[in-house]
Amino acid sequence: MKILGIDTAVATGSVAIIEDDVLVGEMLLTSRRTHARRVMKSVDTLLSVTEHTLSDFDGFAVSIGPGSFTGLRIGISTVKGLAFSVGKPIVAVTTLDALANQFPTSNTLICPILNARKGEVYTALYRTDENGAVVRAGDYAVVSPSDWVRRITEPALFVGDGVEEYGSLIKEKLGPLAHFAPPFLNTIRASVVAYIGMKRLKNKEPDDAKTLVPFYIRPSYAEIKKAGGPLSL
């Protein structure tokens, strides 16, 4: 199965082609230029250098958030257009799932954090199960980092662009419980988005392109504040 994945959720955008378990090609770029000006150029370049056409793909995968409101809309509309043009299915992948799935062999909690501005982060917790699959262990959330780390009581691996802003705070609050991915892994990868999409398409779990919208997450903050207390992990 061959999948084209696209991520435009943050400043670093990427496109990738996965064929079964093989990464055929990936382009990743951090730029001040908007995704609207570069995403299709990246797609066209990757298709050219790998000698593919859109009709070669079994489906498309796209990150749907949380992340940049504008970036997410650009990525989703681009993938909808590509999929519609060749009549192929789409799979939506959350950015937090994509970040966590870079670490399928982790023996600690996996905690992706994305900078949500306003002194908050987008986050969730994940574990690796006995089959090596990365499984979310709670709800997606948008919360202040101070509130979040207060609820973590065991070793956790932090990854994502929120580490740059809040890594020092996390280390201060959690001490030896806090572990951090290498900085180059703090970026969402279209290859991981594509790989998750491929697994779901193999299980016949496409998303409805007509109703597909960005996943902004912010309304869940009230629920997080209301719950309070340590997380049940």
Residue 216 has pLDDT above 80, yes or no: yes
Return the pLDDT at 93. 98
Domain definitions of the chain by residue range:
2-94+187-216, 96-185+222-227
Residue 126 has pLDDT above 90, yes or no: yes
pLDDT band at 226 (very low <50, low <70, confident <90, very high): low
- What dihedral do alpha carbons 187, 190, 194, 197 form, nearest 10°? 60
Residue 221 has pLDDT above 50, yes or no: no
2-94+187-216 and 96-185+222-227 agree in CATH topology: yes
Return the pLDDT at 34. 80
pTM confidence score: 0.91
Per-residue pLDDT of 166-179, as tens digits, reads: 999 999 999 999 99
Query: Is the model more confident about 24 or about 11?
Result: 24
In CATH, the number for domain 96-185+222-227 is 3.30.420.40
Residue 220 has pLDDT above 80, yes or no: no
Task: Report how far Cα 124 is from the mean position of its chain's Cα atoms.
Answer: 11
Mean pLDDT of 73-94: 97
Residues 181, 158: contact at Cβ < 8 Å? Answer: yes
Return the pLDDT at 31. 77
Return the pLDDT at 222. 42
pLDDT band at 43 (very low <50, low <70, confident <90, very high): very high
Return the pLDDT at 224. 43
Q: Which helix (H) or strand (E) holds 172?
A: helix 162-174
Mean pLDDT of 127-155: 94
Q: How far apart are CA 202 and CA 200, in angstroms?
A: 5
CATH topology of domain 2-94+187-216: Nucleotidyltransferase; domain 5 (3.30.420)
